[in-house]
Structure 1
Amino acid sequence: MRLALSTPVVIQVPGTASAWEADAGIDDVARIGATADRLGFAYLTCSEHVAVPATAAEARGAVYWDPLATLAFLAARTSRIRLLTSVLVLGYHHPLEIAKRYGTLDRISGGRLILGVGVGSLREEFDLLGCAWDDRGARADDAMKALRASLSTTHPAYDGPYYRYDAMVVQPCALQPRVPIWVGGRTLRSLRRAVELGDGWTPFGLNIAEMAKMLGAVERPDDFAVALATPPLDPIGAAQQATDRIGRLKEAGATDVNCVIAAQSAEHYCDQLAALAELTDLSRTEQP
């Protein structure tokens, strides 16, 4: 099982984010990213929302840094840790747009991209961007197939119900021969989409029992990733609780644990990371 970070500051969800994050900046994010890299955490995350409706911000939060800019910056400040979009909304982009932008990120980072994608759940945001809502699931399936055919080649070609292209050049392309594609979501359909078209599942908004039930209903390949998130952990102040929470996710089927860390400052956050690495003997876990 791999331990990773739900990167603080770059997304601030009420009830999950710590108070210090509201006034934090890029230097804090860089420091935390470098610390996680040095300690051996598996990846950092960044989500995508262009604009959150004011009516939804109370529950979802309003702070969402752009994932491409953020992860590209972190790529330059780290050397080993992987970079996960968690998640990129497929309906907002043409597959070749994603292949070019995130293929470039994969190349400049030395092949460290994990492409997390999702169908999307904010109707107002779809309408704002002029994107199709009603058939977004079918479009997402087609986009994932197109991405698989296009991410790692400079001469992509694809012929599907929504996306068709040929005789195009996309250069640079991804460095990895097969960029891992993980699917976000909170339904059994999202898990099945991940198994059929992707390499992993990163659910949200589900409790452990719900996730375990879904995972038990679907046959998964041996190398399929299941990335489950913790509630806020306090490795210094509540060490046993932190390890118990991680253990319960492993029992539920996690191959990867996205750790949310409770902290009072960026410095305290880095201290918490060091404590968590020691608690879990991170140097002995299977990190990429």
Structure 2
Amino acid sequence: MKFAVSYGRSVNGVDPDHLVGYAQHAEAAGFEGLYLPEHMALSPSMRFGEYELPVDRQFPDPLVCLTFVAAATTRLLLGTGVLLLPYHHPVALAKRLATLDVLAKGRLRLLTVGVGAFPQEAAVSGVAFETRGRRADEALEVLNLLWTKDSVTFDGEFFQLDRVTSMPQPVGGALPIHVGGSSMAAARRAARFGAGWFPGGMLGPAERIAQLETARSSGRPIEHTRWGSTSTTPESVESFARQGVDRLVINTAGETLAEQRDELSAFAALHGLTPA
């Protein structure tokens, strides 16, 4: 089992010392990578089930933060959980992601994309909410073409390119893209485009099995990532492994950097992570 950490608590905001201290400690403790979430903007009544996102919660730009982290670390893989793909133009995004990967010397290997759950974010991005799935699929096609071809011509429903070149390209070719979500449509997207499948946390066992089977139906190797916490036990890790999980992403509960470091250190010791 591989273990990564998430940095998404609002109390931390965009404090540069906190972000770098958290990332460097995770790297030193032996965690594989660091994930950051994305929300374009918040407005009232944006809910995950019964939980309403506070409108003053800070969600810094994940790619800017990951660039900052890349400059302060040497081994830590960089990830998003999730990047809201339909709300980015793929030509601009291809450039940003490839540049980050080159600057990080090929460490942008946990890029996870989703389509978003909130109509409010689609509206402020100028995207029709009901088209976000088709738009994401088309964007994935464009990204992969720009990262692997010297000249790209594309005529789609949302994007049109005429002999377009985008440099630099990522280290080693197209970036591996993990697909996040809690729907069968997302699982199908992972099967078609993905190097990984990162389902949400609110699924029943039967749904999880069906979606994982769909995500892996292409026959290509597909990594399976799930959410965990610092309270995840070795027995729970064994259970995840039996479900075909390859990686757990750990959230911390503490508010201060010292508390979070202690949580990560205790988790690393419990699960036998190898310090860097």
TM-score band, normalised by shorter chain: 0.7 to 0.9
1:123 CA drift (Å): 0.7
Which deviations, in whole Å up to 9, do the C-alpha atoms of 1:177-205 show, x marking residues without a partner?
A: 13110111101221121011111111123
Does the 8 Å contact 2:189/2:215 carry over to 1?
Answer: no
Aligned to 2:52: 59
One-letter code aligned to 2:120 = E
Q: Alpha carbons of 1:213 and 1:134: their partners in 2 closer, same or farther (altered >3 Å)?
A: closer
Matched, 1:182 2:188: no
Q: Alpha carbons of 1:34 and 1:22: their partners in 2 closer, same or farther (altered >3 Å)?
A: closer
Please report the TM-score for the alignment, with normalisation by the length of structure 1.
0.84
Identical columns (%)? 30
3-state SS of the aligned residue for 1:135?
helix
Aligned to 1:50: 40
- Paired residues in the alignment total 268
Moved more, 245-254 or 89-98: 245-254
Whole-angstrom distance in 2 between the partners of 1:187 and 1:175 = 31
Does the 8 Å contact 2:12/2:255 carry over to 1?
Answer: no
Aligned to 1:247: 238
Structure 1 portions without partners, runs of 5+: 13-20, 235-240
Whole-angstrom distance in 1 between the partners of 2:121 and 2:14 = 26
Whole-angstrom distance in 2 between the partners of 1:24 and 1:100 = 24
One-letter code aligned to 1:275 = A
Does the 8 Å contact 2:23/2:34 carry over to 1?
Answer: yes
Matched, 1:105 2:100: yes
Does the 8 Å contact 2:111/2:178 carry over to 1?
Answer: yes
Whole-angstrom distance in 2 between the partners of 1:222 and 1:50 = 32
Whole-angstrom distance in 1 between the partners of 2:255 and 2:120 = 34
3-state SS of the aligned residue for 1:270?
helix
Whole-angstrom distance in 2 between the partners of 1:33 and 1:252 = 29
Please report the TM-score for the alignment, with normalisation by the length of structure 2.
0.87
Which deviations, in whole Å up to 9, do the C-alpha atoms of 1:116-173 show, x marking residues without a partner?
A: 1111221111112211222221111111111111135554443433322132232222
The equivalent position to 2:90 in structure 1, one of 88, 95, 105, is 95
Aligned to 1:144: 140
Whole-angstrom distance in 1 between the partners of 2:28 and 2:273 = 11
Q: Alpha carbons of 1:155 and 1:175: their partners in 2 closer, same or farther (altered >3 Å)?
A: farther
